[in-house]
Structure 1
């Protein structure tokens, strides 16, 4: 993707936002790859901003598509799960703050937040604002981490050490529990 973005700046900006939207809709590829490419090509602030635009627009488009295609089907089966039903029934300020908080929470898949909001009673406007505002801190943290990893700064090395160490500890504790 970096090679495609390195051509004309206007084309690169449009392509970057478009890819961000597609990634948000498909919900299969982590957005970290798009953010990485954007930072490599455009620099930290412009790359982070383009990633934000792609993710924010993509979340709203995904919300509308999920709402159109899945709302009635999902609601038909949802009555079996009372805890999820409460999540789907939130409205207004409560829905705004729930979506905002879930976007702030690390490792919460965006597609799950978007899906449950889309089958619920949340308006697309409330979703768009709460989702976008919640994405800002998470995306800045992601961009900061990527920037330092790619540029191999001391912060990047420490981050890699912490992530690697945490991963090793997690694997070892799981193996010890399974014995």
Structure 2
């Protein structure tokens, strides 16, 4: 995480007053939709502005809502792509038919691993037409540890260098 980015984002959020929470959640949703932008700096900024418990909650809500909206958008966009790629179709069908528990565990595991891009996990879940509720629960549980680490790290770095 770039401390400077977290500080600049925290400063921006601090200027928004009562709109800061809504802006942070919206910003997190936009980051999730992009599928490639990291959100660690925003989690750190939330910790700086709102403190650890509230910063964690805001970050988690933003990431989960962002994942849900991305899932929906990806799923709609994939309708066009489903007609192509015969080789990938067999692999996708195998996973799609693996059962809800296996799909849940796969998404949960992918969310917990820090080196798998969040957008890729969301895209994959949409591609296999995973149940939305199972996707949301796996995302909530799987994202919580990494968001807690990002919030704590951002808060600690800011406190250390302030």
What's the TM-score once normalised by structure 1's chain length?
0.76
Structure 1 distance, partners of 2:41, 2:86, is 33
Uncovered stretches (5+) of structure 2, i.e. residues with no partner: 1-8
The 1:14–1:80 alpha-carbon spacing in structure 2 relative to 1, beyond 3 Å, is closer
Runs of 4+ in 1 over 3 A off after TM superposition: 80-91
Q: C-alpha distance in 2, partners of 1:78/1:125? A: 28
Q: 3-state SS of the aligned residue for 1:142?
A: helix
The answer as to 2:132 corresponding to 1:127 is no
| 2:60 paired residue among 52, 55, 70 | 52
Match of 2:14 among 6, 10, 22: 6
> Does residue 84 of structure 2 align to residue 105 of structure 1?
no
CA separation in 1, counterparts of 2:104 and 2:88? Answer: 25
Deviation per residue, 1:115-169 (Å, 9 max, x gap): 011010311111111111111112112222222222228xxxxxxxxxxxxxxxx
The corresponding residue for 1:17 is: 25
User: Does residue 152 of the first structure (1) align with residue 133 of the second (2)?
Assistant: no
Root-mean-square deviation over aligned CA pairs: 2.1
Consecutive unaligned residues of structure 1, counting only runs of 5 or more, are 154-179
> Across the two proteins, how many residue pairs are aligned to each other?
153
CA contact 1:103–1:131 (8 Å) conserved in 2: yes
**Larger of the two Rg values belongs to structure:** 1
Q: 1:116 aligns with which of 111, 124, 140?
A: 124
Distance 2:18 2:86 in 1: 44
Normalised by the length of structure 2, the TM-score is: 0.83
- Inter-CA distance 118–151: structure 2 relative to 1 (3 Å threshold): same
